[in-house]
Homo-oligomer: A and B are copies of this chain.
């Protein structure tokens, strides 16, 4: 079955969403699009496959053309904590490790069979040297990331479990419906039992 939610039925080109993401933020010419593609390494990833192990160095940042991934940490008691979901059109990485060369804090795992585009640090530096407007693209990504993380910190500080869930459903209903619920619970910092109860309560109020 080739039809994927929010995707055109037929994928013409492996880099479509990447170029769309970039052109939404900065202006790029057709010749530049061809150049950009050359810096990326296409890769297919199987459901449950890890693309990053905590403790290794994160060697590339990953753009998702199809599928879904999650990044997560494992605490001292062996509990997993989902830090991020990423789907078509989104980036995922351990950015601290990628940029500093330190050990990664996160594992990154595919939740569905996926197709991704990887960008190594040397390729990224080359690309920005040769196409300077890309610097602005990545700066905007970082800024948006900071704003999103700050909002998430505030939500953790100030909202009840149900309020967090409802807010998340407001912002990304499709992702949350698509992701395994135990991981949604983990992302919200609550147990699967609590999430199940909240969902039941919310449904009974409709």
Q: Which residues of A contact B (CB under 8 A)?
A: 73, 75, 79, 81, 83, 95-96, 99, 105, 135, 139, 142-143, 145-147, 149-154, 156-158, 186, 189
Contact = CB atoms under 8 A, between A and B. Distances in A.
* A-side interface mostly: helix
B147 A146 contact: no
What is the copy number of this chain in the assembly? 2
A75 B73 CA distance: 30
A154 B124 CA distance: 28
B83 A154 contact: yes
A153 B79 contact: no
A149 B149 CA distance: 6
B146 A96 contact: yes
Contacts of A156: 153, 156-157, 189
14 contacts: A83-B153, A83-B154, A95-B146, A96-B143, A96-B150, A99-B143, A105-B154, A139-B139, A139-B142, A142-B143, A142-B146, A146-B146, A153-B156, A156-B157
Contacts of A96: 143, 146-147, 150
Given A105-B151, A145-B146, A149-B150, 17 more contacts: A73-B158, A75-B158, A79-B158, A81-B154, A83-B150, A95-B143, A95-B146, A95-B147, A96-B143, A99-B143, A105-B154, A139-B139, A146-B149, A153-B153, A153-B156, A156-B157, A158-B189
A41 to B, nearest CB: 23
Contacts of A149: 146, 149-150, 153
Contacts of A189: 156-158
A8 B118 CA distance: 48
A75 B158 CA distance: 8
Contacts of A81: 154, 157-158
Nearest to A73: B154
A138 to B, nearest CB: 9
Closest 5 CB pairs of A and B: A149-B149, A157-B189, A96-B147, A156-B156, A142-B142
